[in-house]
Amino acid sequence: MDKVLVVIPAYNEALNIERVVGDVITNYPMFDYVIINDGSTDQTADICRKHGWKIIDLPMNLGLAGAFQTGLKYAHRRGYRYAIQFDGDGQHRPEYILPMKEKMDEGYDIVIGSRFITGKKPHSMRMFGSRLLSGSIWFTTGVKVSDPTSGMRMFSRKMIKEFADGLNYGPEPDTISYLISQGAKVAEIPVIMDERILGESYLNPVNAARYMGKMLFSILLVQSFRIRDRR
């Protein structure tokens, strides 16, 4: 199967999910999709069922890592060649999925939609953290990743299997760093991302600072002791 599966994790995205999924289905019917309802307590699941959309309901909130891994298990069992993480909050633009696939076809394992290949990062605490993450990935792997916190990432069949079978594979910068160190070929293409229109992100300034600190600690220290599951 030479198809892309669009994996859409969604937690309490009732205000955005109709617009996001409707856009993918209406304008990009060449891509398959699955919505992972991550234990939402709002009307996210009801909206999806009303439209008859493909949805996997998780009985409780597992967080992004658990939701995304569920999507990758689905992709692995159905033999998809590529799978892309596509956020349910409306920030990712589906017109970049095909260019990412075309880049993957050149032989890459992971392609990241990057906001900072051609443009400079703005001066803010969050972007300072992004610079630190980019530096730590380069320091530990020798590979430059301009936008390590981008959530728009496409994975090859080999990487789909890694996420589907592994226990600790979250779609986060530390996992990307680890996979690079294990030989994964990574590329970036330039994309534009939209701001969230409705709803609230969990990454407020305090949570963002904690997240950056956790990722830095993991990339610089924890990943060097990680043992790869080779089942």
Q: What's the pLDDT tens digit per position in 180-200?
A: 999 999 999 999 988 766 655
Q: Return mean pLDDT, the chain.
A: 88
- Give the closest residue to 96 by CA, choosing from 174, 27, 1, 9: 27
Long-range own/partner contacts, residues 94-97 (CB < 8 A, 24 or more apart): 94/6, 94/23, 94/24, 94/27, 94/28, 94/31, 95/28, 96/152, 96/189, 96/191, 97/4, 97/6, 97/28, 97/31, 97/154
Q: Say what the pLDDT of residue 49 is.
A: 96
Q: Read off the pLDDT of each residue in 144-165 and give the average, rounded to a whole number.
A: 94
Residue 111: beta bridge partners? 154, 187
Answer whether 100's CB lies under 8 Å from 65's CB.
Answer: no
For domain 2-223, say whether CATH 2.40.50.140 is its number.
Answer: no
Q: Read off the pLDDT of each residue in 153-165 and give the average, rounded to a whole number.
A: 95
Q: Report the SS3 class of residue 150.
A: coil
Among residues of the chain, what percentage have pLDDT more than 90? 67
What pLDDT band is residue 129 in, cutting at 50, 70 and 90?
confident
- As to burial, measured by CB atoms within 10 angstroms (0-12 exposed, 13-18 middle, 19+ buried), residue 189 is middle
pTM of the model: 0.87
Computed from CA positions of residues 5, 35, 174, 209, in that sequence, does the dihedral angle turn out positive or negative? positive
Ranges of each domain in the chain? 2-223
pLDDT reading at 135 higher than 70: yes
Q: Say what the pLDDT of residue 128 is.
A: 76
